[in-house]
Chain A
Amino acid sequence: MSGLTPDAIMLGLGELVKLLPIAFALIVVIELFTWFLCAKIIRTKFTLAYVMLAPGIVGVMALIVFPFFYNMFLAFSNMSMTKFLTFSASLQIGLQNLIDVFTVPVLQRTNIGTLIIRTIIWTFVNVFFHVTLGMFLGILLNRPLKLKNVYKSLLILPWAVPEVITSLTWRNEFHYQYGFVNIILKSIGLEPIMWFQDPFWAMISCIFVNIWLGVPFMMVITLGGLQSIPQDYYDVAQIDGAGGWKQFVNITLPLLRPILTPATALGIIWTFNKFNVIYLMYQGGPIEGTHILITAMFSAIFENYRYGFGAMYSLVLFVMLLGISSIYYKIAGGFKEVSE
């Protein structure tokens, strides 16, 4: 922490004080311009609403919309290490980048086909366990239980601990000789596993850690959903002679759907793009065996300077995610109201 000296803090605060009037002036200018545009030129009755929204819209444009379109522009460019400041862009270059994404190895020995299959397996297995285990724990916690809040707090803990710490801690626990996973395996008479050298087992350990990290979120979401289902439905079902399973299938699941569908869609997107766990545990190794699409993209862009290629690759990823999410929504009927 020697970096955070009183001098450094004062310098930081000084910069902040200098920046504040500039930021304030910028907001005032945006507000005045919006007011002038809406009240004097367009003459709309929603002037106040637009004035309130304007700084937020400008922020979103600057931080999300502009980078997105700039990335699209780069996808049609030949920007690379040798053409870093002198790159050019054209439709032809973009098409070549697109062809390269599907024909040239993204990493040294792994092409996009392998990465897609691995990412789909990674996403499916993770989300499946997130949802099933999360729902299971949510249902357990929704019952009358002694010390319920203590269990709830303990189960939420993995979510509360930063991913970096969780990943690095688990990484040590998979050590061949001193990690407790192998110690347990040995104590029950099984052979210890070379987690750091065998790509298959390395991937299994990454999936395990990510399940550990993702279950609490789904548990909290499910618990929230369960608490909003009136008890009357279950009472009536019981009078009609419905057992536990029937109640779950006919009451709990349909009523959880409006909550679980967007949560699962989010889970798919997050897991598909999960970078931290894989990179912190094995940096995509061993033998490139734990790389998924997103970590391979990072490697191509930031380690191998393939900016144009990387931008097109990220665009392909975006289209894939958009497609998967849309299909999922359609199948799960997430846009439907409960009453439909």
Chain B
Amino acid sequence: MKKRLFVWLFICAMALGMMSNVMAAKTINLVMWTQQGDPVLGEIQRLCKEYTKKNPNIRVEVLNYSTEDIRTNFQTAAFAGTGPDLLWTVSDHAGPLSVMKIINPIDKVMPRDYEKRFTDFSLEAVELDGKVWGVPISVGNHLMLLYNKNIIKEAPKDTDEMIKVAKEVTIDKNGDGTPDQYGLLWNFDEPFWLAPWLGGFGGWPLDGRKPTLDTPAMVKTLQFMHDLKFKHKIVPTECNYDGADALFRQGKGAMMINGDWALFGYLDRRTRKTVDLGVDRIPKVSETGKWPSPMTSGQYFMFPSYLTDKERIKAVRGLVYHFESKEVQTYFLKEHKRLPSLKSMLKDPALTNDPIMSGSMRQLEVGRPMPTVPEMRPTWDAMRPEMQAVMAGKITPAQAAKNMQKAAEQGIREMNK
């Protein structure tokens, strides 16, 4: 009796499993991974639902991971030949993922010449070996000068003026020896914040695939950053991203260097009580007469190399069309302050009439695409500790530049083994 029960239970379980698989085959369930958190994630889910309404046989599941997790988890999933049907991620993932051969160039999924509808600078950030590895969603991810109009009326034009103005507004209100309001805030833990100044002094971290860190431009950049803290004393003694962000929100910073991702957050009702936001280019470097050039990248759709089923490709293509419409890009521009990637939107009044977004766009014009090559990663890692050591006053800029170069060359050698 017990044996029979066992056998029947087993048969039922198998039948149920098979039935559910047959039922599932009728609809296409797409999975998209995105590194976009709230509130954009909610919008993405809403747009996916809209897509399902238009295409009832296609359902889209959206999963959210942090920027680093999306890369590492995708690597693991792709290694096993499975994972999402579509990635919504940042441009700097295109380099390593394409070298690993786990994403395809966009012409494998999208029609020929589809990329022509996008701005050149949005495509440059995902071009490698003559191929385009991502469909641009929004561009930017670049640093710019944010200033609080309650403290300074307009943005300084060059670094000399910036230092002069910043000194005037760095104030110790309670006389305890530590300023309560700072002239300039920025994250000096991360070399991403060093890149604009390096460009302004005429340097760049990579020349093709070779690191170019031990250069006079790097030494001058590090010296300039060091002087802002130790000589001019216009930045806090310690300042990481969260610290800079919190001080600026509280109205305790006249100027701040931060990215376009943060703009939306400074326009909420609570922050508006302390911050009247202005946006402009990071001031020209007085010594060279050059504009600092922040690294630009953006958000992109990328296609896994295991996506080969024709029906799924068609469904993914439809989803990309849905997100790349002018209406959706206008919505993200107005509601989430994201710069559009479509050429046709560059002169759109929604962009040109918005002082915040046009300021962001002005900065973007002098930015440079972040190198897509995977060598950028060890180069960042080589720059970080040395830059931190300079900002802690532990080594000289010249020594730091030398150490960076050596570490980057070693890191690239190890990575390419």
Give me the interface of A with B, judged by CB distance under 8 Å. 1-3, 5, 7-8, 11, 17-18, 21-22, 24-25, 28-29, 32, 78, 80-82, 84-85, 104-105, 107-109, 172, 175-177, 194-198, 285-288, 299, 302-306, 309
Considering only CB atoms, which chain B residue lies closest to A5 in the complex? B45
Residues of A within 8 A of B49 (CB): 7
Residues of B within 8 A of A287 (CB): 385, 388-389, 392, 394
B13's partner among A25, A104, A107 (CB-CB below 8 A) is A25
Residues of A within 8 A of B374 (CB): 81, 305
Residues of A within 8 A of B14 (CB): 21, 25
- Which of B233-248 touch A at CB < 8 Å? 236-238, 240, 242-243
**Is B385 touching A1 in the complex (CB atoms < 8 A)?**
no
**Is A78 touching B417 in the complex (CB atoms < 8 A)?**
yes
Residues of A within 8 A of B414 (CB): 104, 304, 306, 309
Give me the interface of B with A, judged by CB distance under 8 Å. 6, 9-10, 13-14, 16-17, 20-21, 24, 38-39, 41-42, 45, 49, 59, 61-62, 64, 68, 72, 75, 79, 96, 99-102, 178, 189, 236-238, 240, 242-243, 374, 377-378, 381-382, 384-386, 388-389, 391-392, 394, 403, 407, 410-411, 414-417
Given A2-B39, A3-B38, A194-B392, A85:B64 Cβ within 8 A:
no
Residues of B within 8 A of A81 (CB): 96, 99-100, 374, 415-416
**Is A303 touching B377 in the complex (CB atoms < 8 A)?**
yes
Residues of B within 8 A of A177 (CB): 178, 236-238
Given A84-B102, A197-B391, A302:B72 Cβ within 8 A:
yes
Residues of B within 8 A of A107 (CB): 381
Considering only CB atoms, which chain A residue lies closest to B40 in the complex? A2
**Is A85 touching B388 in the complex (CB atoms < 8 A)?**
no
Instruction: Decide if the interface of chain B is mainly helix, strand, loop or mixed.
Output: helix
Given A18-B24, A25-B17, A303-B381, A2:B42 Cβ within 8 A:
yes
Closest CB in chain B relative to A57 CB, distance in Å: 20
Complex-state Cα separation, A231 to B237, whole angstroms: 57
Complex-state Cα separation, A305 to B381, whole angstroms: 13
Closest CB in chain B relative to A189 CB, distance in Å: 13
Q: List 10 extra interface pairs beyond A84-B99, A108-B382, A302-B72, CB under 8 A.
A: A2-B41, A3-B41, A85-B102, A105-B407, A109-B385, A194-B237, A196-B189, A196-B240, A286-B189, A288-B385
**Is B10 touching A176 in the complex (CB atoms < 8 A)?**
no
Given A80-B416, A285-B385, A303-B377, A3:B392 Cβ within 8 A:
no
Considering only CB atoms, which chain B residue lies closest to A27 in the complex? B13
Complex-state Cα separation, A128 to B112, whole angstroms: 66
Complex-state Cα separation, A240 to B388, whole angstroms: 63
Closest CB in chain A relative to B395 CB, distance in Å: 9
Considering only CB atoms, which chain A residue lies closest to B12 in the complex? A21
Instruction: Count A/B pairs, Cβ under 8 Å.
Output: 142
Complex-state Cα separation, A8 to B416, whole angstroms: 41
Given A11-B61, A81-B96, A285-B384, A3:B45 Cβ within 8 A:
yes
Residues of B within 8 A of A304 (CB): 377-378, 381, 411, 414-415
With most chain B CB atoms within 10 A of its CB, the pick from A11, A287, A306 is A287
Given A28-B6, A80-B416, A176:B41 Cβ within 8 A:
no
Considering only CB atoms, which chain B residue lies closest to A11 in the complex? B61
Complex-state Cα separation, A185 to B372, whole angstroms: 46
Closest CB in chain A relative to B415 CB, distance in Å: 6
Residues of B within 8 A of A7 (CB): 45, 49
Residues of B within 8 A of A306 (CB): 414-415, 417
Closest CB in chain B relative to A16 CB, distance in Å: 11
Given A2-B41, A176-B236, A108:B385 Cβ within 8 A:
yes
Residues of A within 8 A of B377 (CB): 303-305
Considering only CB atoms, which chain A residue lies closest to B378 in the complex? A304
Q: Can you show 30 pairs from A to B with CB atoms below 8 A apart?
A: A3-B38, A3-B41, A5-B45, A11-B61, A18-B24, A21-B14, A21-B17, A24-B13, A25-B14, A28-B10, A32-B10, A82-B100, A84-B100, A85-B79, A85-B102, A108-B385, A108-B411, A109-B386, A172-B242, A176-B236, A177-B178, A194-B237, A286-B189, A286-B389, A302-B72, A303-B381, A304-B377, A304-B381, A304-B415, A305-B374
Per CB-CB distance, the 8 closest pairs between chain A and chain B, nearest first, are A2-B42, A84-B100, A108-B407, A176-B238, A21-B16, A197-B392, A25-B13, A21-B17
**Is A1 touching B237 in the complex (CB atoms < 8 A)?**
no
Residues of A within 8 A of B242 (CB): 172
**Is A82 touching B20 in the complex (CB atoms < 8 A)?**
no
Residues of B within 8 A of A286 (CB): 189, 385, 388-389, 392
Complex-state Cα separation, A105 to B386, whole angstroms: 15
Residues of B within 8 A of A84 (CB): 75, 79, 99-102
Closest CB in chain A relative to B29 CB, distance in Å: 9
Closest CB in chain B relative to A227 CB, distance in Å: 44
Complex-state Cα separation, A288 to B385, whole angstroms: 6
**Is B178 touching A22 in the complex (CB atoms < 8 A)?**
no
Residues of A within 8 A of B45 (CB): 2-3, 5, 7-8
Residues of A within 8 A of B411 (CB): 108, 304
Closest CB in chain B relative to A287 CB, distance in Å: 5
Closest CB in chain B relative to A284 CB, distance in Å: 9
Residues of A within 8 A of B382 (CB): 108
Complex-state Cα separation, A178 to B392, whole angstroms: 19
Closest CB in chain A relative to B172 CB, distance in Å: 11
**Is B13 touching A21 in the complex (CB atoms < 8 A)?**
yes
Complex-state Cα separation, A111 to B409, whole angstroms: 16
Considering only CB atoms, which chain A residue lies closest to B237 in the complex? A176
Closest CB in chain B relative to A248 CB, distance in Å: 44
Closest CB in chain A relative to B292 CB, distance in Å: 24
Complex-state Cα separation, A107 to B407, whole angstroms: 9
